[in-house]
Amino acid sequence: AYHADELLAAGVRDGRAHGLLLALRWTDHLEAAERVTEQWTEIAHRQGSEEAFAAARVHSSHLNRMRGRLRQAEADAETATAATPPHGVNYVMAWVALTDCLISKGDLDAAQAACDAIGFGEQIPPFPPYGGVLGIRAELRCALGRHAVRSPTTTRSHAAPALDRKSTRLNSSHLGI
């Protein structure tokens, strides 16, 4: 948390600050992560930075969801979606956070709409921050019961041929009889 405080005080709100907040969340240092997120929010307000404010609200949304405060998590995510210009990284992460909240609430129709609002469809750019889109899309598909969808073109004729099991059968020649 000390390093995150240092980075924020120095005006750094890039991948390093995000990475430190992620590390705090993933290691259950939630109090420290909340303190850093609130500090980030205060700095964003002082500087008038909507992008920094939205990024802080995304982290706050995830923290609130982890603590079971789903209404606050959803409000933070909605605030972040409204504060970011379309198609930037923070915009995408805000919609991921909102989708995550809605899945946790069990509102799967709204979660699908939020996931669709990201705008990538099946083609997610190969850019590391967008890995969250892959994760939330998989989580949503599992929640909807669509995690094991088979391609309609996969039939037995297109599948690999069945192996001849004759060579694996135990018969009298294997026994030395």
Q: What is the pLDDT of residues 58-114, one digit of tens each?
A: 999 999 999 999 999 999 999 999 998 887 888 999 999 999 999 999 999 999 999
3-state secondary structure the chain: CHHHHHHHHCCCCCHHHHHHHHHHHHCCCHHHHHHHHHHHHHHHHHHCCHHHHHHHHHHHHHHHHHCCCHHHHHHHHHHHHHHCCCCCHHHHHHHHHHHHHHHHHCCHHHHHHHHHHCCCCCCCCCCHHHHHHHHHHHHHHHHHCCCCCCCCCCCCCCCCCCCCHHHHCCCCCCCCC
Q: Which residue has 């923290």 as its token pair?
A: 63
pLDDT band at residue 10 using 50, 70 and 90 as cut-offs: low
Q: What is the pTM of this model?
A: 0.74
Q: Are 87 and 119 spatial neighbours (Cβ–Cβ below 8 Å)?
A: yes
